[in-house]
Structure 1
Amino acid sequence: MVQQHDSNLIATDRRWPEGTRPSTDEIWHLLEEVPDPEVPVVNVVELGIVRELAWNGDILEVTLTPTYSGCPATHFIEEEIGAALNRAGLANHRLKQRLAPAWTTDWITDAAREKLRAFGIAPPQGSASKRSLLGEDPEVTCPQCGSTHTEQVSEFGSTACKALYRCKECLEPFDYFKCI
């Protein structure tokens, strides 16, 4: 679906002059301003949710891969990306979902992993693998004190993509962003 909602914009809302077509690099930078609604210290680009940007004629196509098909934030993320594009004067856009390949924590940037750690969430350890299917628990580092002497308290933390852990050194609970 192509969205065209330009009637409420005033000239100062536009990032680019009317009639100009920004480069995809400029649009990537714009989308870096859209935070993840569940963990607002990281953005949708850093999480790897935005997969591709391309101009198809005069329509900007933005391809997104949700973190998982049942993620309750997916619709909100799409709305926020659309709103950011509209505010910048790019009202002629189409958001597309791509489910294959499935999103993986491997797509989270190093900068986002550090932001998660600083926010108190242990970032995914290593890369996605089938180790967890074989009963192997990851070695999770406490984001508060750096200890690896941690234990899982619950398979699910504040969201389904995170598990609740506790540090046995500093005794602080924390979320661990599961490696998927």
Structure 2
Amino acid sequence: MVKTTSLTKTDILNLLSEIVDPEIPVVNIQEMGMLRDVILSSDGCEVLLTPTYTGCPAMGIIEQDILFLLQQHGIQNPSVKLIYTPAWTTDWMSDSTKEKLKHYGIAAPLHSSCINWLKPDQIRVPCPNCGSETTSLVSRFGATACKALYRCAECKEPFEYFKCH
């Protein structure tokens, strides 16, 4: 049997709210809907995560951050298990998370369902800077595969749009 601290599942979930997405540092893994569960057992602590998409380059850093944080708080044998089913969806983002993205300069997913996801050039994406809907798709991919690059015709600023998944 492995000795663990007296932290509860709620305590650990609260700790994990400190882990941010390194590509979007204004939101944490809970707000993104990536944190699926925490399982405590006599063997240690297992954190269940769903990546925003398969092959997300941030997952390695997120896993390291989780393990380091839990070890720093006395958790013995922490582990991270990636869960791919059900696949992550932008539906798991709360409205407050979408608002944080907007204030950070990233247009949040527009719908709770992926309407027109194959035709991003036909989506009216409001500019997170000025609110104008007179925007145009520049590239289907932004700095990461989960975002697209748009440009606003009003304020002339480029911005990223977090694609609906």
TM-score, scaled to structure 2: 0.91
Match of 1:21 in 2: 6
User: Please, which runs of 5 or more residues in structure 1 have no aligned partner?
Assistant: 5-17
Match of 1:60 in 2: 45
More strand by share: 2
1:104 aligned to which of 65, 89, 114: 89
Is 1:95 paired with 2:80?
yes
Query: What amino acid is aligned across from residue 21 of structure 1 in structure 2?
Result: S
Q: Which has the larger radius of gyration?
A: 1
- Root mean square deviation, CA, Å: 1.9
Q: 1:26-175 alignment to 2 at 5 Å?
A: 26-129=11-114, 131-133=116-118, 137-175=122-160
TM-score, scaled to structure 1: 0.84
How far apart are 1:109 and its partner, in Å? Answer: 2.2
Structure 2 distance, partners of 1:165, 1:132, is 15
How far apart are 1:169 and its partner, in Å? Answer: 1.2
Say how many residue pairs are matched: 164
Alignment deviations for residues 63-101 of structure 1 (CA, whole Å, 9 cap, x no partner): 011111111111111111111111111132221111000
How far apart are 1:34 and its partner, in Å? Answer: 0.8
Query: What amino acid is aligned across from residue 74 of structure 1 in structure 2?
Result: M
Match of 1:11 in 2: none
Structure 2 distance, partners of 1:52, 1:42, is 18
